[in-house]
Structure 1
Amino acid sequence: MSGFVATAPASPAQPLSSGGWYPDIDPTEARAVMRLDGTVTNDRLVECLSNAMSSVEDELDEWQQQQRALGRERLADVPSKAINGVSRLVMLYKRAVVAYAQAELLEKYRELDTTGRGDRRADAMNETAEDYRRNVRYAVRDILGRPRATVELI
């Protein structure tokens, strides 16, 4: 029996927009950053990216309202350093969205193979999903200008 698995190349999906304040998320770019092949369908990727956008934007909602009150029409208008001509805040937003989507995809695909070797691989994937969720927290905290860790003395 052959170990080859056929995966269809993913056809390009339309960029995802959430009203214009935040930058669009291009599923093709996200797929490249996430190193996904055709195993993950565009429908599943778009669903995960949409969920990610919603969750990240919920966390930033109060901050966004403050920025809009200051007359900033979009995230790219908020003063920030630029790296390679792109606002650092835009980069952080995209990082948070992609990391959230990647964690969700890893959790969904964990269910596909949970026997023997697959169970050990699933445990490793869970650690990776937690790493991606940590990256989401870091990116959101960086956008908000808050420390990444909260430490209290007991």
Structure 2
Amino acid sequence: MNDFVSVAPISAHAAHDPNPPRVEPILKGDGWYPDIDLRDVRVVLRLDGTVTDARLFDAVVEGIAHAADVLHAWRVKCEASGAADLAATHPRQVAGESVQVRRYRRAVYGWAHALVLERYRGYDTSQSGTRRVDAVALSPDEARRDAYWALGDIVGRRRLTVEAI
């Protein structure tokens, strides 16, 4: 049995808005987690203009939500112990900033990067283009691994890598 679904065509005007809504570059944290600057995300992840601000915003929002979900139980314990914010959960600083804040950003950036990579694998689908992308680009799985390692580092969970033989 075959199913067929038909949808109304999208007009050219609706498909491409020449003046997309402006996306604020700073995503405000909730006071416990730090703010995320989309300009910094773009630089760190080396994203060019093919990833629109709106799509980057969406991926980073999901990264923030996912990190918060994974850290929820740990955060509740930390707040019960008197931690006013993420930075207060660990005394160490690197380059004048809490390592926990840096790890949180790495987790958010990693998750957002995985989402972006899945959508923008590359426009050159020729064999040479695929080899070039594979040689240079981080895979979505590697970006997710980096994000989960960062979240594990925040809560103090040791890393373990196992390979099946």
Whether the TM-score (by the shorter chain) exceeds 0.5 is: yes
Q: Which of 92, 95, 101 pairs up with 1:84?
A: 95
User: Is it true that 1:95 corresponds to 2:106 in the alignment?
Assistant: yes
- In the alignment, does 2:136 pair up with 1:131? no
Give the TM-score of the pair, scaled to structure 1: 0.80
Contact 1:100–1:136 (CA under 8 A) maintained in structure 2: yes
Whether the 8 Å CA contact 1:110–1:125 is kept in 2: the answer is no
Specify the code of the residue in structure 2 equivalent to 1:86. Answer: E
CA contact (8 A) 2:117 2:140 kept: yes
Give the aligned CA root-mean-square deviation in angstroms: 2.3
Match of 2:55 among 44, 52, 60: 44
**Sequence identity of aligned pairs in percent?**
40
Which range is displaced more, 126-135 or 55-64?
Answer: 126-135
**TM-score of the superposition, structure 2-length normalised?**
0.75
Question: Is residue 27 of structure 2 the alignment partner of residue 20 of structure 1?
Answer: no
- Paired with 1:12 and 1:52, the residues of 2 have a C-alpha distance of 17
SS in 2 for 1:149: coil
Gaps of 5+ in 1: 1-10
Q: Which moved more, 1:134-143 or 1:115-124?
A: 115-124
Structure 2, unaligned runs of 5 or more = 1-21
Q: 2: distance between equivalents of 1:36 and 1:150?
A: 29
Question: Are residues 150 and 66 of structure 1, via their aligned partners in 2, closer, same or farther at CA, if it must alter by over 3 Å?
Answer: farther
1:6 matched to which residue of 2? none
Once the 2 structures are TM-superposed, how far is the Cα of residue 142 of structure 1 from its aligned partner? 0.6
Larger Rg: 2
Does the CA-based 8 Å contact 1:114-1:122 persist in structure 2? no
